[in-house]
Amino acid sequence: MSTKNFIIGTAGHIDHGKTKLIQAISGTDTDRLSEEKKRGISIDLGFTNLQLSDNYTLGIIDVPGHEKFIKNMLAGAGGVDIALLVISADEGVMPQTREHLDILSLLNVKKGIIVVTKIDLVKEEWLDLMITDIKEKLSDTFLKDVPLVSVSAQENIGLDKLKNVLINIIDQMEGKELTGNVYYPIDRVFSVKGHGTIVTGTLVSGKIETDDNLMVYPSHKETRVRSLEVHNTEALAALPGQRVGINISGVNKNEIRRGDVLATPDSLMNTKFLDCRLKVLKNAPLILENGDRIRFYINANEVIGRVHLLDKNELLPGESGLVQYRLDKKVVARFKENYVIRRFSPMNTLGGGNVLDVHPHLRKRFDKNVIDELQKKESLNDNDRLEYILKLNNHKTIDYNFLIKKSSLRKEKIKKILNQLIEEEKVVLFEKGSQETWIHYDNYNDLEEEVIDILNKFHEMNKLKLGLFKEELRTKLSIELNNMEFNQLLGGLEEKKKIKVKGSYVKKFNYKVQLSKKENEIKEKIINEFKESKFMPPNPETIIKIGSKKEEVFNYLVDIGELIHIKEDLFFISSAVKKAENILIKYLKENKSITLAQFRDLLASSRRYTLALLEYFDQKNITIRKGEKRFLKD
């Protein structure tokens, strides 16, 4: 499902009639600040709407033209779908005309109209010459083939034609998808008495309804939508492409600023690093060098930072390269989101591009793997990109939250892609109940091989051990797995007959302990000593020497259950424990209860060994102690 809601944005040099034009076609003066009224120029963003036809109501952003307020222009330009490049007939293309046009191009605005204003101030011959000059000067820009409309806001000339041209353009444009995560960059924050905090912005994606719970980034403050206003009218829902005012609760005005983003909870990642494609403007005033200090603009946000070139020594005007921005403050961004950079001082526009990684590590320059990774992310479709994200994260399994933040895709689309990748055997799903995580098939295969390699080495070094403890095996793996994931991995390897899991041990499928002749002799000697001692077993220290072959055989006998570890340094031969159990049960069936002294006499043993056996039987739920007596457990 899609909707045709679009934003018109003005652009152009100071005093070329942008605000006057908007007032003439919409009936609204967008200069809202008293200083703007006094000086006759737009300082900050102005907003209104235009009822273009019965079908189309458009949002309008009127941006300031003065070079001192370019950062305010950038705050509004990010949401523009159709640009009105306003050029005064008496002055023509001027410095801010070019800079605004460069910014619109860097922000990937595709549609536009050249509007020549103030035609009532010039003669027809001059207007013809000016139009020819304008077309020539804009012939190398994205506006080279767009309609040009001549108007006079003062005399109401050409305004209907301008509206008709807008209708024709919108008729040919595709609507915006209603599905997706909410992404709403904030460009104004204020409070209204009795209502609280109000934010305004252009809804880029998703749908917002009253009572929705959203999150403010980068502060991660939770908030609720109390009410909505679209095109100056109260609404129950806001759609992508609309200018929206939102009354939010739970967040104070002083806790939000222009440049923050209102979004679906847990859909974005805070970062000070962004990997990007950068295109330097042809008319950029300098050669960009590694480490240059810049001003970074994304949506309505301005952040100081440095640019680090990843694949070039320097970037000349007109060149493109891969870069990492290291910013002074945390921001949020989405994959392929457009941005602009300006010189730190003086503030000239240098270039811009789009985001390729929203939360990268620190990158080394000229790292072939990094360059290859970013080029792939830049060129891959959504399916291949999601698969690539999973493949790159070869140290952990991935859940929905991570994929949503890293890919900038909505959960429904991610789920559809993952199901397809599972069918194609490119991704493995770990699943238990509602818990779901994924791992790339190549990484899963590496993990299986790692398990076998660990077991091979373990068996080689511990020939008398039945296997490796499961938990110890889990901690040795290079990929962190929780219990559910680990058990699924082991289950898969058992099905393939590569391993066997027995109790708390894991071993290779066909592995068996092979005792040498000498080890068998030691084994028989230890068993005989314990059999002879029966209910008063020897202390292991008198039999084995730590680190000796005897200790290895002793531990083997414990592992196979021939010797049972009862308590601390007490071990009994299994036949003695079974016999003691039978004696105890028989006595209790005949006498209902037994004391420690009575059991000691039955076994002809000492108090120490008898007590240890009774406590062992308690733990095994054979008996239950009540005071000084023990009874059979029901």
Quote the pLDDT of residue 353.
93
- Give the model's pLDDT for residue 584: 96
Q: Note the pLDDT of residue 66.
A: 36
Amino acid identity of 327? L
Cα distances from 632 to residues 44, 68, 567, 593, 594, in angstroms, run 85, 90, 21, 8, 9
Phi, psi of 468 (to 5 degrees): -95, 140
What is the model's pLDDT at position 372? Answer: 96
Question: In this structure, what DSSP letter does residue 69 have?
Answer: G
Sign of the torsion formed by the C-alpha atoms of 187, 192, 194 and 196: positive
- Is the preceding peptide bond at 218 cis, omega within 30 degrees of 0? yes
Burial annotation 444-477 (CB, 10 A radius, 16+ → b, else e): beebbeebeebbeebbeeeebbbbbebeebbeee
Helix, strand or coil for residue 273? strand
Can you give the pLDDT at residue 34? 38
Answering whether pTM is above 0.75, one says yes
pLDDT along the chain (634 residues), means of 10: 73 82 74 38 53 78 50 57 91 85 84 94 93 93 92 92 92 82 90 86 91 96 94 87 90 92 95 97 93 92 96 96 97 93 89 94 96 96 96 93 93 94 96 92 96 96 93 95 95 96 93 92 93 92 79 92 92 96 95 95 95 95 94 89
| Torsion angles phi and psi, residue 186, rounded to 5 | -95, 125
Cβ-contact 455, 499 below 8 angstroms: yes
- Which domains does the chain show, CATH number per domain? 2-176 (3.40.50.300), 178-263 (2.40.30.10), 271-372 (2.40.30.10), 380-514 (1.10.10.10), 517-632 (1.10.10.10)
Helix (H) or strand (E) holding 517: helix 517-533
Burial of 602 (0-12, 13-18, 19+ CB in 10 A): middle
Do 333 and 377 touch, CB atoms closer than 8 A?
no
Task: Give the per-residue pLDDT at 35.
Answer: 37
